[in-house]
């Protein structure tokens, strides 16, 4: 479901990945897959009954999710230290859809797109390339993404956003030092990864990415949506 009209004056756009068995996951062997199984109380195994119970095995970084600085620094700044209202706002959308697969997004790419724009501190900034939409589930997904280079990450961090949402991989493919994560987290920024359908919203929409209420964790899946009230 990409979008629906909740009422005549409300439009809702789904910006989230679909959770399903076999969904894309980072290619490292240690990275857990999403899975689920149905269970039944032992005493009722042979009984005819209509109810269903499902156990879900979900990694906090599967699919569309948010992550705090505790993810990269183990600094204790978990989701429980955030406020729910931080995850809702009219976004600042930076259009990077002309950026090709497999190339870096440089500082100048960001600067020329925000020239003459006043971006308030503590904004939600969405970086839109369309990569997740065109490449999710493809063989090349993990190897051909555009990425923020170190200087571009500094430009974004200097805008002092509260959330940066992206529809491409945060780091250069196979980067192991978490350069972009560390730069954004050091600026007090929450990262929202694996967004979709950013081409279907604009800055008149409310962006919402509400994490599952797991206050002790560094990350949690979200159902990210764009909401337009006409």
Digit-coded pLDDT (tens) for 66-75: 999 999 999 9
Pairing state between β 35-39 and 10-14: unpaired
The rounded radius of gyration (Å) of the Cα atoms in the chain is 19
Whether the Cβ atoms of residue 218 and residue 79 lie closer than 8 Å to each other = yes
In this prediction, residues 44-52 reach a mean pLDDT of 69
* Nearest residue to 19 (alpha-carbon basis) of 148, 191, 136: 136
DSSP class of 21: T
- The separation between CA 30 and the C-alpha centre of its own chain, rounded to angstroms, equals 21
Whether the Cβ atoms of residue 191 and residue 164 lie closer than 8 Å to each other = yes
**pLDDT at residue number 176:** 86
What's the CATH class of domain 3-17+60-229?
alpha beta
Residue 47 binned pLDDT confidence (cut-offs 50, 70, 90): low
pTM of the model: 0.93
What token pair was written down for 175? 């980067």
Residue 51 binned pLDDT confidence (cut-offs 50, 70, 90): confident
């Amino acid at each position: 479901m990409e979008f629906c009209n909740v009422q005549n004056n409300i439009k809702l756009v789904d910006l989230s990945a679909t959770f399903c068995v076999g969904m894309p996951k980072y290619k490292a062997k240690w990275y857990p897959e999403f899975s689920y199984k149905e269970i039944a109380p032992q005493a009722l195994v042979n009984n005819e009954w209509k109810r269903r119970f499902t156990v879900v095995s979900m990694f906090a970084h599967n699919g569309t999710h948010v992550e705090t600085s505790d993810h990269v620094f183990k600094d204790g700044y978990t989701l429980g230290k955030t406020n729910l209202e931080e995850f809702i706002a009219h976004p600042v959308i930076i259009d990077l859809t002309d950026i090709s697969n497999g190339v870096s997004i440089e500082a100048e790419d960001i600067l020329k797109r925000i020239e003459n724009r006043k971006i308030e501190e503590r904004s939600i900034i969405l970086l839109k390339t369309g990569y997740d939409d065109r490449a999710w589930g493809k063989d090349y997904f993990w190897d051909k993404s555009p990425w923020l280079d170190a200087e571009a990450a500094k430009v974004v961090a200097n805008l002092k956003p509260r959330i940066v949402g992206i529809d491409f991989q945060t780091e250069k493919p196979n980067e192991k030092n978490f350069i972009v994560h560390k730069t954004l987290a050091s600026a007090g920024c929450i990262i929202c990864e694996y967004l979709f359908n950013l081409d279907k919203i604009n800055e008149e929409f409310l962006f919402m990415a509400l994490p599952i209420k797991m206050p002790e964790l560094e990350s949690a899946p979200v159902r990210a949506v764009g909401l337009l009230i006409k």
